Amino acid sequence: MKITYSKNINAAYIYLLDTTLKVFETDSFEVLGQISFGSINIDFSKEGYILGFEILCAQEILPQKLLESPINSKIKIDYEKSLNKVYVMLIEVKEEEYIKKSVSFEIEGLLKFGDVYLDFDKNLKLVRFQIAHADKLLPLKFLEIIS
């Protein structure tokens, strides 16, 4: 997993899976209102698995710490098998400072379905993705590697 950021276009990309796979379809979710503004696009493989997340207006959505050094960022990913949920932690935050707002998006269509939750800190910056029904949205081989 890696993250890239282009200051020129104010966009970041968080790669979950092999970036050589061809993207089949992109679903876009707008992040508006209290959260800030911008959009998050979720890229899917032809099999319906999540490949990664494109974040437009990244300075408004992502923590500055993450954007300052995206290559050196230590994105943490965990699979909680009993809940069938993957957590993608973009930055480390103290539990009491975090998850002040959570936005849920149902993803239906393609060949798979599931839910993605976006969790924001007290400054309304995106700090974590939760991928529910992970076995439907991520390849089993990937889940085995991160378990």
Beta-strand runs (E) in 69-113: 76-80, 85-89, 101-107
pLDDT at residue number 107: 52
pLDDT at residue number 30: 54
Determine the residue type at 144. Answer: E
What's the rounded mean pLDDT across residues 53-79?
A: 86
Burial class (CB in 10 A: 0-12, 13-18, 19+), 14: buried
Cα 39 from chain centroid? Answer: 12
pLDDT at residue number 19: 62
pLDDT at residue number 94: 66
Q: Where are the domains of the chain?
A: 2-146
Structure confidence at residue 111 as a pLDDT band (50, 70, 90)? very low
Question: Using CA atoms, how far apart are residues 38 and 1, in angstroms rounded to an integer?
Answer: 23
What's the mean pLDDT when you consider all of the chain? 78
Question: Using CA atoms, how far apart are residues 23 and 44, in angstroms rounded to an integer?
Answer: 6
Question: Using CA atoms, how far apart are residues 52 and 42, in angstroms rounded to an integer?
Answer: 6
pLDDT at residue number 34: 47
Question: Using CA atoms, how far apart are residues 123 and 145, in angstroms rounded to an integer?
Answer: 33
Does position 114 have pLDDT exceeding 60, yes or no?
Answer: yes
Question: Pick from 20, 29, 22, 16: which is nearest to 139 by CA?
Answer: 16
